[in-house]
A = this chain, B = another copy of it.
Amino acid sequence: MSQQPASAQNTNAAAAFDLECRNINKDFDGFKAVNNVSFNVPTGTFFSILGPSGCGKTTLLRMVAGFQTPSSGDLLIKGKSMLGVPPNKRPVSMVFQHLALFPMMDIAANVGFGLRQRGVPREDIAKRVETVLERVGLPGVGSRHISQLSGGQKQRVAIARCMVLEPDVLLLDEPLGALDLKLREHMKIELKKLQSEFGTTFVYITHDQSEALVMSDQIAVMNHGEFEQVGAARELYHEPKTAFVAGFVGEANSFTAKVDSINGDAATLVSDDGLNIKGHDASGNLQQGDKAKVYVRPESIRLATSANQLDNVENLNQGIIENILFNGANSHILLREEKSGGELNVAIPQTGQFRDLTRGDKVYIGWEAAQTRCYKES
């Protein structure tokens, strides 16, 4: 109760952002877990931080929650610096990776925990708990025990437990990590819906790109403690700014290649296997003779049974089908490119056109230079 009015005042004064991080650093005995990270999260948006295991996501989030102190930098919530504010006084709530529901209490007590701490009267608590449980789609479960809920229901209780406090920012640390596949798919959509319903700012961390892509308004891709790129899902997927983002977000065939010639953005390269590649200089600083990383998405490669079907593409090659990975709408072909002997992963179009290709068939493959993104290798 106490911090609500204070932060509300600040909202009017300064902040269009619910959360601002300014040059945050975190050293662990000389190891830089978070390196000079700055970002702003606009009010009411779903902001994801995506990165591989160990890149510093949890550390960053725990600094926001107050469980760790930044080595340097500032951290503002609704325009108010949080440095020195203990975790139980910050207007943020957190959904933990394993949810951290209290097994010694029933569900109503779990959800009401925060309100009790604020000294809200008993009847009010009961009312507000029931309301929030209804909003997450679990009316009437209050008297049940945690162990009587399914994984997805627990998830929603954990969110309800935070949302009942009406936090300015909700932090979520890989909350779907422990769920099984089908449930995960389902909860992705569910979470997104809950967020738009509550209108609360979500900061979500994950190492699963599909989670981030599906749910987020904004995604920050993190690697080795630094933000590589911040943007909307499509931006990251279609216009990755760095080699890391191109490789990490979405599937991609990758080559290492040498720049043969460069003309504005258009680059001609030769891969290590000897494949000629025409590509687009995405890093903007390629020079002749540079080593480069080249990425082509499986769905950017088009299949054809004759060369003339692929007239307008800059890269045209032939390959032999080695393996068909049938997976319904998401089927792929693994083929071996003839000239270089490299393996390529090609998406089979959903149209059903190439349904009867079989192993050993020879096909033409082609992709456009514009969809061939080249990055200078550091």
Which A residues contact B (CB, under 8 angstroms)? 181, 188-189, 192-193, 208, 210, 213-214, 233-234, 237, 249-251, 297-299, 323, 325-330, 334, 347, 349-350, 355
Chain B residue contacts of A330, Cβ below 8 A:
210, 329-330
User: Which partner residue on chain B sits nearest A215 by CB separation?
Assistant: B325
The 7 closest A-B pairs by CB, nearest first: A250-B328, A299-B329, A299-B350, A233-B326, A214-B325, A213-B327, A210-B327
Cα of A326 to Cα of B210 in the assembled complex, Å: 8
User: Which one of B192, B233, B350 contacts A349 once the chains associate, using CB atoms below 8 Å?
Assistant: B350
Cα of A316 to Cα of B122 in the assembled complex, Å: 54
Query: What 13 new A-B contacts, CB under 8 Å, besides A214-B326, A297-B328?
Result: A181-B208, A188-B325, A213-B326, A214-B325, A234-B326, A237-B328, A249-B328, A250-B328, A297-B329, A298-B329, A299-B329, A329-B347, A330-B330
Q: State how many angstroms separate the Cβ of A364 from the closest Cβ of chain B.
A: 18
Chain B residue contacts of A299, Cβ below 8 A:
328-329, 350
User: Which partner residue on chain B sits nearest A211 by CB separation?
Assistant: B327
User: Which partner residue on chain B sits nearest A188 by CB separation?
Assistant: B325
Q: State how many angstroms separate the Cβ of A58 from the closest Cβ of chain B.
A: 16
Q: Is the CB of A189 within 8 A of B329?
A: no
* 10 contacts across the A-B interface (CB closer than 8 A): A189-B325, A192-B323, A193-B323, A210-B330, A214-B326, A214-B327, A250-B328, A298-B329, A299-B329, A330-B330
Q: State how many angstroms separate the Cβ of A356 from the closest Cβ of chain B.
A: 9
Q: State how many angstroms separate the Cβ of A185 from the closest Cβ of chain B.
A: 9
Known: A192-B323, A334-B189, A350-B350. A213 touches B328 (CB 8 A): yes
Chain B residue contacts of A237, Cβ below 8 A:
326, 328
Chain B residue contacts of A298, Cβ below 8 A:
329
